[in-house]
Chain A
Amino acid sequence: MTEQANWKPRDRTAMARRVAADIPEGWYVNLGIGQPTQIANLLDDREVIIHAENGVLGVGPVAGPDEYDPWLVNPGKKVVTLVKGGAYVHHADSFAMIRGGHIDLCVLGAFEVSESGDIANWATSDTDDAPAVGGAMDLCAGAKRLWVLMDHMTKNGEPKIVRTCKLPLTAPSAVRRIYTDLAVLDVTPEGLSLVEMVRGLSFDELQARTGAPIKRRS
């Protein structure tokens, strides 16, 4: 496989950094548990306000030993800090911010995303015992825009971007943009549209790893 030598996928940090680069100053942003949380550390000196659904608006970095207070956690239950200008609210107000369309952006991971922007990221099968939805459905339905950050393919080499999701949906027609280790794709009314690929990867190679047709921008 000589083609492998021509390109390499983005690593975890580079993926998060690529998303961070597209977030303008002044946005209120909710970041999903796991990899999306890392985006907050890569915003440089832009004032972007991180919303946590457990009632923290203005989440700061993970707490060091001097500022550690177990009463202040993020949705991943890590002890964090509050930025200057941050505020605490209760759960109903926190989700009013989400449901009411006040959150500019939500970035979540996903198991599958369809070409029409359907997202499946909460239950791993129809028979998943005790699937945990948390705030994912509220965020997908309520945020002004939803971006997905995920690997392009599963560990078994199956495409995660598909024509139709097989797993139970978190929300239909919700995803606007997909960031993977191989590419950035927009979800448009006409289907998937290529924004960019990692250097050296050919369009055909990308298409072969994607379960739905991608349109090149003219």
Chain B
Amino acid sequence: MIDKFVQTMAEAMDGVKDGSTVLIGGFGSVGQPVQLIDALIEQGAKDLTVVSNNSGIGLVGLGRLLHLRRVRKIICSFPRSPDPVAFLELYRKGQIELEIVPQGTMAERMRAAGAGIPAFFTATSVGTRLAEGKEVREINGRTYVLEHALKGDLALVESWEADRWGNLTYRKSGRNFNPVMAMAAELSVVQTMHVRELGEIDQECIVTPGIFVDRVIHVPDGGPK
């Protein structure tokens, strides 16, 4: 019997290595798997590269992971939030590396990784400093920049519902980066608000099928704060 549910956070984070690239879902706090980030902090992995749209709010979740100096590099589109205190402190001291990526390019780089596409051309960022040093090519009269797939060792995902095969649904704008990150990582770990029996989720409504999911843990008190 396939059962991807784990009962403890220690099982959820088992085997995560120092130096991992960690994809963290969420747009601001919506869909951000805070309890899994806490579990990663507890697990102790360090020297991480984090891929996340934002750079953490206050000293909770991603903010706390940064504050504890576990992150060597952050890849994000918007290193701002109402309170990016942890990130800015490290950044101003030169204690964290920052790679700014346009939001759509970031999403597509992960989608490409999950889909087995090593790189792709996009018009986004052409003629700007974010394209400096990158290969460009003219295709049908327009200039494009080459962007490489962005693969994770670990993805941390928050879902609304999950069953034991790892089939997932999301809630409203809580979907955001979560499905592409689940596809793009070697190990995808999900915290879910609700647990469903196999077959209980309407099969036309499954957004992430279990093939992209490795472990699921029930976190009923997740959700945006």
Mark A residues whose CB is within 8 Å of B: 52-56, 69-73, 77, 82, 88-92, 94-96, 98-99, 129-138, 141-142, 168-172
Is the beta-carbon distance between A134 and B175 smaller than 8 angstroms?
Answer: no
Contacting A at CB under 8 A, from B89-106, are: 91-92, 98, 100-105
**Interface hub of B87, B107, B171, B174 (most chain A Cβ within 10 A):** B107
Is the beta-carbon distance between A92 and B108 smaller than 8 angstroms?
Answer: yes
Q: Does B195 contact A (CB under 8 A)?
A: no
Across the interface, name the chain A residue whose C-beta is closest to B183.
A92
Q: How many B residues touch the partner, as a band?
A: 35 or more
Q: Does B148 contact A (CB under 8 A)?
A: no
Is the beta-carbon distance between B79 and A141 smaller than 8 angstroms?
Answer: no
Least Cβ–Cβ distance between A120 and chain B, in angstroms: 9
Number of A-B contacts (CB under 8 A): 143
Is the beta-carbon distance between A133 and B173 smaller than 8 angstroms?
Answer: no
Residues of A within 8 A of B21 (CB): none
Is the beta-carbon distance between B173 and A71 smaller than 8 angstroms?
Answer: yes
Is the beta-carbon distance between B173 and A90 smaller than 8 angstroms?
Answer: no
Given A90-B207, A137-B128: A72 and B103 within 8 A (CB)?
no
Is the beta-carbon distance between A73 and B129 smaller than 8 angstroms?
Answer: no
Given A71-B174, A73-B173, A90-B175: A130 and B124 within 8 A (CB)?
no
Least Cβ–Cβ distance between B70 and chain A, in angstroms: 19
Is the beta-carbon distance between A71 and B124 smaller than 8 angstroms?
Answer: no
- Contact among A55, A98, A134 with B78 in the assembled complex (CB-CB below 8 Å): A134
Across the interface, name the chain B residue whose C-beta is closest to A173.
B127
Is the beta-carbon distance between B172 and A135 smaller than 8 angstroms?
Answer: no
- Contact among A53, A92, A131, A172 with B127 in the assembled complex (CB-CB below 8 Å): A172
Interface string of B66-84 (1 = CB under 8 A from A): 0000000000011110100
Is the beta-carbon distance between B173 and A56 smaller than 8 angstroms?
Answer: yes
Residues of A within 8 A of B207 (CB): 90
Is the beta-carbon distance between A137 and B111 smaller than 8 angstroms?
Answer: no
- Contact among A70, A82, A132 with B77 in the assembled complex (CB-CB below 8 Å): A132
Is the beta-carbon distance between B123 and A131 smaller than 8 angstroms?
Answer: no
Residues of A within 8 A of B216 (CB): none
